[in-house]
Amino acid sequence: MSWLRLLALTLTTGFLLSLAGCNTIEGMGKDIQKAGEKIEDAAD
Would you state the pLDDT for residue 27? 73
Percent helix, percent strand, percent coil in the chain, to nearest 5? 90, 0, 10
pTM for the full predicted model:
0.44
Q: What pLDDT is recorded for position 24?
A: 67
Residues 4-31 have pLDDT tens digits of: 888 889 988 888 877 666 666 677 778 8
Res 34: pLDDT: 87
| pLDDT > 80? residue 32 | yes
